[in-house]
């Protein structure tokens, strides 16, 4: 049994094969329906447009039956900690929830964002790990506190489609946002870009560093793939000669549990840390990427997101194709 929790668990060759498979689905060259007679549970602790719609549609297109559950909404509130006395507001433990679902379903997808309250705890992805611990069927990470591997795979597919499979100068830039956001998307994008051997530049203000252990992994993946990793606190300089610009905002580790402090601290970055036409003009005719949803004229200007450089809709479409490839693979019916 194989989970899809982070791209770090998958080799570059395996990720390339998943993208190959996704391209076959996209171009109608793979019409297989390996999920006929099978159900897949999709557990959403948090809101979603792309992930929910693309997973439901992808499972349908593969012949299967998606079962969407929302703990605390359409299903019971869930406790994930072991050994806890459940006399609070949580009705069911993940231990039973997952084991029951595994009797009905062939795989379980789960979305569980960071609460941005306790960095030391959330960086270990406790809810996702609890699902993986108790499941006898594959778990697919639909965005956890630390990783969004389906998004990252769609991003790598989009770069390959738009700019070719060769090594590229890829800028991941922090952007100002009125409130702190989770780090899963930048973590997974940086990790996947490193695994694919791109030259990765992470631009962010001081204080908005990614996780130290993750950065070590990113550097190791990059070295193994023949790429490079640079860190910059100068957004304009980072854009020079970029082939790809990927924007995302995230919260500072030091301010987990202190959102108001992060909001106060980031005010100074509002004017400069936005993707605009002037910065894009410094690039090597770069494509503009964002996972969506995006706040216009906050993260990126209308001019950039509406320009021919913007590939955000293709990127969102590719979620459907890569997830069909992932489902096919983890359910053992691979292409
Ligand atoms: N990019 C992404 O995961 O979008 P949703 O949050 O709408 O699913």
Per-residue pLDDT tens for 133-179? 999 999 999 999 999 999 999 999 999 999 999 999 999 999 999 99
Confidence of residue 125 (pLDDT cuts 50, 70, 90): very high
> Residue 48: CB within 6 Å of ligand 1?
yes
Task: Give nearest CA residue, ligand 1 atom 6.
Answer: 48
Rounded mean pLDDT of 270-283? 98
Lowest mean pLDDT among 73-77, 213-217, 265-269: 73-77
Q: Which atom of ligand 1 is nearest to the CA of 54?
A: 8
Rounded mean pLDDT of 175-204? 98
Sheet holding 169-174, edge to edge: 228-232, 199-203, 169-174, 244-248, 287-289
CA separation for the pair 136, 86 (Å, rounded): 24
Torsional class of 72: left (φ above 0), alpha (ψ -120 to 50), beta (otherwise): left
CA-based nearest residue to 326, from 148, 97, 112: 148
Rounded mean pLDDT of 72-76? 92
What sign does the dihedral 15-111-25-317 (CA atoms) show? negative
CA separation for the pair 92, 160 (Å, rounded): 43
Given the structure tokens 């503009």, which residue do they identify? 288
CA-based nearest residue to 140, from 55, 69, 77: 55
CA separation for the pair 310, 303 (Å, rounded): 10
The contacts of residue 14 (CB under 8 Å, 6+ apart) are none
Q: How many residues does the chain have?
A: 335
Cα 125 to ligand 1 centroid, rounded to whole Å: 18
DSSP 198: -
Cα 46 to ligand 1 centroid, rounded to whole Å: 10
pLDDT of residue 130: 98
Angle (CA) 133 138 144, round 5°:
65
CA separation for the pair 194, 217 (Å, rounded): 9
pLDDT of residue 1: 87
Cα 40 to ligand 1 centroid, rounded to whole Å: 19
Helices then strands, counting H and E runs in the chain, come out as 13, 11
Is the pLDDT at 332 greater than 90? The verdict is: no
| Cis ω before 7 (30° cut-off from 0) | no
Residue 220: φ, ψ to 5°? -65, -45
CA separation for the pair 236, 273 (Å, rounded): 9
pLDDT of residue 333: 65
Task: Give the up-direction half-sphere exposure of residue 325: CA atoms within 13 A in the CB hemisphere.
Answer: 27
> Residue 291: CB within 6 Å of ligand 1?
yes
> Residue 49: CB within 6 Å of ligand 1?
yes
pLDDT of residue 150: 98
Is the pLDDT at 335 greater than 60? The verdict is: no
> Residue 294: CB within 6 Å of ligand 1?
no
CB-based contact 182:250 (threshold 8 Å)? yes
Burial of 252 per CB tally in 10 Å (0-12, 13-18, 19+): buried
């Amino acid at each position: 049994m194989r989970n899809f929790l982070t791209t770090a668990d998958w080799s570059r060759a395996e990720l390339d094969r998943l993208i190959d498979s996704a391209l076959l689905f996209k171009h109608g060259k793979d019409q297989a329906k390996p999920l006929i007679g099978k159900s897949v549970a999709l557990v959403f602790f948090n809101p979603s447009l792309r992930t929910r719609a693309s997973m439901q549609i992808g499972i349908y297109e593969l012949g299967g039956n998606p079962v969407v559950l929302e703990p605390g909404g359409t299903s019971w509130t869930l406790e994930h900690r072991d050994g806890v006395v459940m006399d609070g507001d949580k009705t069911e433990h993940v231990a039973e929830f997952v084991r029951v679902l595994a009797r009905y379903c062939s795989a379980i997808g789960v979305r569980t964002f960071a609460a941005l309250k306790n960095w030391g705890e959330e960086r270990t992805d406790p809810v996702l790990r609890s699902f993986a611990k108790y499941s006898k069927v594959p778990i697919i990470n639909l965005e956890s506190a630390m990783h969004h591997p389906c998004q990252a795979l769609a991003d790598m597919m989009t770069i390959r489609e738009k700019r070719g499979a060769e090594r590229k100068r890829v800028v991941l830039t922090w952007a100002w946002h009125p409130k702190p956001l989770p780090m899963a998307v930048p973590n997974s994008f940086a990790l996947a870009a490193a695994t694919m051997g791109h030259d990765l530049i992470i631009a962010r203000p001081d204080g908005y560093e990614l996780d130290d252990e993750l950065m070590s992994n990113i550097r190791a993946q990059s070295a193994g793939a023949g790429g490079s990793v640079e860190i910059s606190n100068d957004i304009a300089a980072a854009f020079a000669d970029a082939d790809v610009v990927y924007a995302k905002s995230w919260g500072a580790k030091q301010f987990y549990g202190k959102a108001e402090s992060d909001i106060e601290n980031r005010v100074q970055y509002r004017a400069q840390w936005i993707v605009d036409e002037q910065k894009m003009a410094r690039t090597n005719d770069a494509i503009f990427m964002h996972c969506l949803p995006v706040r216009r004229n906050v993260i990126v200007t209308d001019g950039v997101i509406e320009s021919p450089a913007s590939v955000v809709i293709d990127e969102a479409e590719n979620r459907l194709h890569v997830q069909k490839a992932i489902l096919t693979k983890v359910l053992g019916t691979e292409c």
